Structure 1
Amino acid sequence: MMNKRYGIGLALLSVALLAGCGTRQSSQGKTTSQSTSTQSSSTKSVTATTKVSLTAAIKKFQQQFPNASVTSIELEDQLGRPVYTLEGVGGTQEHELQLNGRTGKVISKKSEMLDQDDQADAERDRLNLNKVISPSKAVAIAVHDRNGGYASELKLDKDNDTTYWEVQVHQGKQQVDVKIDAYEGSILETEHDD
């Protein structure tokens, strides 16, 4: 009788140990797959983690600086979060607003006086934001042009009356800056960084 109880106890103990080992293996498998997905998400383009639209970011800038016009917009990954930096001019002042691209919360804002030369240039630098392609479309065009990679940064700017998106595309250790017409979506130029 004692032998039978001992055998049953030993069998139950074995089942419990095997069940515990099975649980440990499956939780290790989860850890491995989680770290793999974290690694792949770190190489996603900055627009993939941005929840705030370009229109919403511009609206926030206009709320903070009602009499200002936007002169440049940048979206980049800063410490693992997307950050918009909008610059603009209004009257005799230059303004800058940084927004969290996930939440829309203001990170910082500042204004400073423009000197007379900069005041004269301010009108020329104002962006016409009507019908500008979205940041995600600009990134898709740039990444497609480079046959893959991811974008860590992009900037909407103007030079010689041409408004363009400049998208920084990474492919392995190589970085390429792709300039795209902000209205038509055509590639204006590419520049390889060494």
Structure 2
Amino acid sequence: MKFSKITQSALLASIIVAAPLAASADDLQLNQSVATTQSSISLADAMNLAKRHAQGTIANVSLDDSGVYDVTIFSKNYEHEVSVNARSGEILRTERSSLDRSDKRKLRALNSVKIKQNDAADRAVKAVGGGQAVEIEFDKERRLWVYDVKVVKNGQQYDVRINANTGAVLKQQIDY
């Protein structure tokens, strides 16, 4: 099959543009593993630094593949998003928006559960035999409040679900 110069150029350009967008789940997991090994700030440190800039209850924390912790904090009427550099601890960005009805329910639940984020992260790390917690999300699963925790250990990512009232490990699996 013979293509014109314009068609060949267009095909080459589309391959060059699309190649970086075709990242697989393995590539994303590898990027998060690299971000984890390059971070000197732990999940707990990021939470403490973020709370200095926004008072309230931490709902979620995640470490992205560029080495930034994104911390979500709920206060009485607001959701605060605080970004923390995982290497330096520098606060990169803070944003505030109004809580919606769903977020207010989640805040009430966060304030009433017995297990807090740091304890849930510690239990998840212990469940997989070590590593570093890089993400924690508070959510409702089948009428039960849980923490979904991602732990990176030896370059492998694990998903661990912790009961927010009892601290029991409900699920533990390797994230493929």
TM-score (norm 2): 0.56
Letter in 2 for 1:69: T
Distance 1:120 1:187 in 2: 24
How far residue 100 of structure 1 moved from its aligned partner, in angstroms, is: 0.9
SS at the partner of 1:85? Answer: strand
Mark the CA change 1:56 to 1:44 in structure 2 (over 3 Å): closer, same or farther: closer
Aligned pairs, how many?
Answer: 143
Q: Cα–Cα, structure 1 residues 181 and 64, in superposed 2: closer, same or farther, change >3 Å?
A: same
Q: Is 2:39–2:86's contact at 8 Å kept on the other side of the alignment?
A: yes
Q: 1:29 corresponds to which residue?
A: none
Asked if 1:75 is matched to 2:39, the reply is: no
Which amino acid in structure 1 is aligned with residue 124 of structure 2? A
* Structural mapping, 1:8-87, within 5 Å: 44=33, 46-66=35-55, 68-76=56-64, 78-79=65-66, 81=67, 83-87=68-72
Select the structure with the greater relative contact order (CA < 8 A; seq sep ≥ 6): 2
Letter in 1 for 2:74: V
Larger mean Cα displacement after TM superposition, 85-94 or 47-56: 47-56
* Paired AA for residue 188 in structure 1: L
Q: Is the contact between residue 69 and residue 89 of structure 1 (CA under 8 Å) also seen in structure 2? A: yes
Given that residues 133 and 183 in structure 1 are in contact (C-alpha distance below 8 angstroms), is that contact kept between their aligned partners in structure 2?
Answer: no
Distance 1:156 1:183, change over 3 A: farther
Matched, 1:188 2:170: yes
Change (3 A) 1:123 1:61: same
State the Cα distance separating 1:110 from its structure 2 match.
0.7
Q: Which amino acid in the other structure matches residue 129 of structure 1?
A: K
- Asked if structure 1 preserves the Cα contact closer than 8 Å seen for 2:121 and 2:149, the reply is no
Asked if 1:155 corresponds to 2:140, the answer is: no
The AA in structure 2 aligned to 1:95 is H
Structure 2 residue matching 1:132: 3-state secondary structure? helix
State the alpha-carbon separation in 1 of the partners of residues 163 and 106 from structure 2: 22
Per-residue deviation, 1:95: 1.0
Cα 1:125/1:42, change in 2 over 3 Å = closer
Match 1:138 to one of 112, 124, 127: 124
Secondary structure in 1 matching 2:119: coil
CA distance in 2, matches of 1:43, 1:111: 26
Q: Unaligned stretches of 5+ in structure 2?
A: 1-29
- Quote the Cα distance in structure 2 between the aligned partners of 1:118 and 1:140: 30
| Inter-partner Cα distance in structure 1 for 2:150 and 2:166 | 15
Shift of 1:158: 4.1
Question: Which structure has the bigger radius of gyration?
Answer: 1
- Report the aligned-residue RMSD: 4.2
